[in-house]
């Protein structure tokens, strides 16, 4: 199904049906029930996290430029502090690993679907002299909830990846999360949400890898933590992640973000103990959609590498260092801490590094 969706997106096919007509009546009732319960609280407007991170590393090298695109997950809706957003967490982590300042620009829009990526990419590429070195795209949940045709969704995403790659940016896509982990969604809607989310995530992987991007499956990344402690891992509206939830997701993306920039140790040897493998891209995409935190990167067509990178600890999130003008020089010490802290239930320890 993922291959059919991706092929339809690439060659102009129409919508690929994912649901039999017999189930429509039951599912519509479940949708109405879920709508009354999801969003019972109010998610705060996501804070702006744009700015410079890791200013203590200022030196002769230019800052790395990180762009974030996508929906409310990429924007960080559900938290109140800039340092708690995924953009800030990834920028702080990237600065700590590269030992260079990182300029973050986040153009993600809460509520956005994949057809908004064209506008977001245009915003990032307006200044050809400031093209991001790497971009992270998190998109797909609203495509599912608003019943956007899967082929259209994947077509919009692959076009965005192609534009960014043509401009010279590396691209990492966090694929559609598993909507079956949302607490107020009941069976059979929960089963359908999981199935459709995974099919879209796999199709996103196929399309993105074929355009030269890498993907990280977000899938049910929050599933086990949510079942154990839903109030901690989801925000006040029961839909968007909390600060701890965003930290969990960001730690899954950070190793791939560093690897695509050549900052992470790479090896041609696949680790069988960690279920790494080289597979046809469609099979790699399907397997990644079933296991959150899995990276897929293209090899020689039609093959792809399936990797399970170790999750490292993120540095303590800092507030962005404000830019006094569009292209600032680094100054001051605010936001310079790169101390690595423990987040509950994640990864292995890394050593602290003084700013």
What is the set of active-site residues? 72, 237, 240
Q: Are strands 303-307 and 295-298 parallel, antiparallel or unpaired?
A: antiparallel
Q: What is the DSSP code string of 199-213? A: HHHHHHHHHHHHTT-
Judged on CB neighbours under 10 Å (0-12, 13-18, 19+), 335 is buried
Q: What is the CA radius of gyration of the chain?
A: 19
Beta-carbon count within 10 A of 323 CB: 13
Angle of CA points 292, 344, 333, to nearest 5°: 100
Q: Are strands 134-138 and 64-70 parallel, antiparallel or unpaired?
A: parallel
> Among 265, 311, 329, 263, which residue's Cα sits nearest to residue 101?
329
Query: How far apart are the C-alpha atoms of 247 and 79, rounded to whole Å?
Result: 11
The DSSP secondary-structure symbol of 273 reads: G
Residue 328 DSSP SS3:
coil
Structure tokens at 142: 């609203």
Residue 100 DSSP SS3:
coil
């Amino acid at each position: 199904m993922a291959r059919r969706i991706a092929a339809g997106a690439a060659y102009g096919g129409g919508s690929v049906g994912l649901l039999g007509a017999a189930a429509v009546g039951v599912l519509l009732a479940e949708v109405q029930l879920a709508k009354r319960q999801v969003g019972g609280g109010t998610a705060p407007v996501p804070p702006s996290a744009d700015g410079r991170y890791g200013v203590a590393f200022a030196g002769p090298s230019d800052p790395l430029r990180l762009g974030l695109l996508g929906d409310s997950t990429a924007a960080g809706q559900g938290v109140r502090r800039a340092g708690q957003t995924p953009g800030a967490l990834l920028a702080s982590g990237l600065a700590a690993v590269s030992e260079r300042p990182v300029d973050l620009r986040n153009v993600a829009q809460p509520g956005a679907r994949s057809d908004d990526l064209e506008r977001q990419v245009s915003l990032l590429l307006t200044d050809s002299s400031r093209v991001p070195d790497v971009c992270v795209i998190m998109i797909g949940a609203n495509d599912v909830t608003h019943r956007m045709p899967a082929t259209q969704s994947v077509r919009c995403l692959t076009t965005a990846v192609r534009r960014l790659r043509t401009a010279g940016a590396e691209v990492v896509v966090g694929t559609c999360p598993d909507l079956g982990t949302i607490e107020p969604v009941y069976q059979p809607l929960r089963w359908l949400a999981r199935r459709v989310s995974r099919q879209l995530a796999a199709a996103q992987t196929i399309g993105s890898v074929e355009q030269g991007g890498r993907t990280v499956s977000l899938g049910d990344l929050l599933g086990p933590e949510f079942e154990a402690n839903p109030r901690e891992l989801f925000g006040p509206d029961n839909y968007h992640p909390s600060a701890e939830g965003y930290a969990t997701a960001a730690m899954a993306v950070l190793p791939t973000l560093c690897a695509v920039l050549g900052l992470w140790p790479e090896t041609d040897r696949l680790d069988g103990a960690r279920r790494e493998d080289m597979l046809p891209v469609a099979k790699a995409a399907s397997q990644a959609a079933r296991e959150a935190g899995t990276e897929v990167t293209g090899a020689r067509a039609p093959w792809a590498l399936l990797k399970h990178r170790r999750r490292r600890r993120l540095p303590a999130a800092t507030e962005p260092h404000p830019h006094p003008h569009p292209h600032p020089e680094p100054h001051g010490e605010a936001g310079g801490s790169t101390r690595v802290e423990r987040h509950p239930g994640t990864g292995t320890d890394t050593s602290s590094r003084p700013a």
